[in-house]
């Protein structure tokens, strides 16, 4: 099995440190707000990695943190804590905020068939481990104290920038001028922040009351649960230049050697070819998708059609097309299921060929789009038989699309709840046909097709189906 290592910038053969056990750390959510679909795409990638490893026979020890303190509104240690800000705005305690959004996050990942990691630690439950980590860095000369906290001196760490590829001098020169002139380098990052008396979240430390920096949390918790060395660290590409670069610096400074063997990052999800932004009102959530009539697993299907290292552009039209395709996939799988077992329908050689092509794709750096091509070849196979359905169910160990749950209702999955606008257009077309105005009837049919609606004239009347606009 090959995976792309961000650190080396190449595909590498996976060779776990401990034979058959793969130890993984994934950066989890900061639970101050709802997870948007961009966040969730990263967790779909995390889930696919888990599933492929399990499919290949590996055992997993997977840690994903819950950040409920210490993540400032700027990843570069500026502004106030995201949890505190959300608590103030919603007039609740940070603990109430964390509890609520953690619950919603787990509901979202459940709806997307994302497997829970084996260990899910909360930052607030590991303050002592973080303090000890910071203390050790200070003792080694990597950390220093200022009036507002303890900072990591990046000039002391020789390999700073090796993950992102940024040169240290460039990093220092390009950093914004900080308000805190006590910092030795503008790009030095906080290990521990001293808290003002009115700060809601704070703990006693050797440096007075305060709270941890965001970056130290992942280093402390990964070390506690996975040890000094583990196999894979995952996250979004947005974590590369600051968060993960800082994780590497502080952990390797403490240990004197690398801790993570493979770094893997999922690309951005764009919206209408741009970045998601609260100001633009396009930070969509699973709840937003449901409100528009989309199934969460249709979004999962949407994610599977792009490689995790490629940007993916979300539009509502693309989402419509994904839902149509997903429902057709279920309908196609059901056709095989309902055909029953037919020994002579397909050869064992053909099934083995499908399986080989699928497995080659998933073990080549999680090439799920290529694997989906194999899935559709199975779906479209002219000979329908339960043997091919069983193969699809096996593939679904990776896909997580609930293929096994395809029921008779999927036969009707192409049918559409007709909106008033569509009803009126259909009635106008019917009237045009009665009046033998074929030109107008065809124009209305084409307009409906542009809307993703296909009409089929049957003896029982007009059947309305969802289609992809490019069909």
Compute φ and ψ for 31, nearest 5 degrees.
Answer: -90, 60
Would you kindly state where each structural domain of the chain is located, as residue ranges?
A: 2-266, 291-412, 420-466
More confident residue, 163 or 434: 163
d(CA 96, CA 115): 25
**Tokens at residue 199, please?**
């700060």
d(CA 43, CA 235): 8
Query: What are the CA-CA distances from residue 28 to residues 54, 86, 98, 202, 240 (Å)?
Result: 21, 18, 13, 21, 15
Token look-up 């800000």 returns 85
d(CA 220, CA 128): 9
10-13/2-5 β-pairing = antiparallel
pLDDT at position 467, please?
64
Handedness of CA 99, 103, 104, 108 (dihedral sign): positive
Q: For 297-357, give the secondary structure using H, E and C.
A: HHHHHHHHCCCCCCCEEECHHHHHHHHHHHHHHHHHHHHHHHCCCCCCCCCHHHHHHHHHH
For the segment 124-172, what is each residue's pLDDT rounded down to a tens digit?
A: 999 999 999 999 999 999 999 999 999 999 999 999 999 999 876 665 5
Compute φ and ψ for 413, nearest 5 degrees.
Answer: -65, -20
DSSP E strand stretches across 218-329: 230-236, 260-266, 269-271, 312-314
* Per-chain mean pLDDT for the chain: 91
Q: Is the pLDDT of residue 469 over 50?
A: no
Mean pLDDT of 302-318: 97
pLDDT at position 413, please?
43
DSSP conformational letter for 307:
-
pLDDT at position 172, please?
56
Q: Which CATH superfamily is domain 2-266 in?
A: HUPs (3.40.50.620)
Q: Is the pLDDT of residue 470 over 70?
A: no
59-64/210-212 β-pairing = unpaired
How would you class 99 by CB atoms within 10 Å of its CB: exposed for 0-12, middle for 13-18, buried for 19 or more?
A: middle
Whole-prediction pTM: 0.84
d(CA 227, CA 251): 11
Mean pLDDT of 112-133: 98
For the segment 168-201, what is each residue's pLDDT rounded down to a tens digit?
A: 666 555 554 445 689 999 889 999 999 988 889 9
pLDDT at position 455, please?
79
């Amino acid at each position: 099995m090959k995976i792309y290592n961000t650190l080396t910038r190449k595909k590498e053969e996976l060779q776990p440190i401990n034979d058959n056990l793969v130890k993984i750390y994934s950066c989890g959510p900061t639970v101050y707000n709802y997870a948007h679909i961009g966040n969730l795409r990263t967790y779909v990638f995390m889930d696919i990695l888990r599933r492929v490893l399990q499919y290949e026979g590996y055992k997993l020890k997977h840690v994903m943190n819950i950040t409920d303190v210490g993540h400032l509104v700027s990843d570069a240690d500026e502004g106030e804590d995201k949890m505190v800000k959300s608590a103030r705005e919603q007039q609740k305690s940070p603990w109430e905020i964390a509890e609520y959004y953690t619950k919603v996050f787990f509901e979202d990942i459940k709806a997307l068939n994302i497997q829970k990691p084996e260990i899910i630690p909360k930052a607030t439950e590991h303050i002592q481990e973080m303090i000890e980590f910071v203390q050790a860095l200070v003792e080694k000369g990597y950390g220093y104290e200022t009036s507002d906290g303890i900072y990591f001196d990046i000039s002391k760490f020789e390999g700073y920038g090796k993950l992102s590829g940024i040169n240290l001098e460039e990093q220092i020169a390009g950093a914004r001028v900080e308000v805190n002139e006590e910092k030795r380098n503008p790009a030095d990052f906080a290990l521990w922040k001293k808290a003002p008396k009115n700060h809601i979240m704070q703990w006693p430390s050797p440096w007075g009351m305060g709270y941890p920096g965001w970056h130290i949390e992942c280093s402390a918790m990964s070390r506690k649960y996975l040890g000094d060395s583990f196999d894979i660290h995952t996250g979004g590409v947005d974590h590369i230049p600051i968060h993960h670069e800082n994780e590497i610096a502080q952990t390797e400074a403490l240990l004197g050697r690398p801790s993570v063997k493979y770094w893997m990052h999922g690309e951005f999800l764009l919206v209408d070819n741009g970045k998601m932004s609260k100001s633009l009102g396009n930070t969509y959530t699973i709840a937003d998708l449901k409100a528009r009539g989309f199934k969460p697993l249709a979004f999962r299907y949407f994610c599977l059609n792009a490689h995790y290292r490629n940007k993916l552009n979300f539009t509502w039209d693309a989402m419509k097309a994904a839902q149509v395709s997903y429902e057709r996939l279920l309908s196609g799988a059901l056709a095989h299921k309902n055909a029953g077992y037919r020994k002579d329908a397909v050869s064992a050689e053909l099934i083995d060929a499908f399986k080989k092509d699928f497995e080659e794709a998933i073990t080549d750096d999680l090439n799920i789009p290529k694997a989906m091509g194999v899935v559709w070849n199975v779906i479209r196979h002219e000979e329908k038989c339960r043997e091919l359905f069983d193969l699809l169910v096996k593939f679904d160990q990776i896909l997580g699309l609930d293929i096994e749950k395809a029921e008779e209702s999927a036969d009707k999955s192409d049918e559409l709840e007709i909106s008033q606008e569509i009803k009126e257009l259909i009635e106008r077309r019917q009237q045009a046909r009665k009046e033998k105005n074929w030109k107008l009837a065809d124009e209305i049919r084409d307009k409906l097709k542009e809307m993703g609606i296909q009409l089929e004239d049957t003896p029982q009347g007009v059947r309305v189906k969802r289609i992809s606009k490019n069909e």
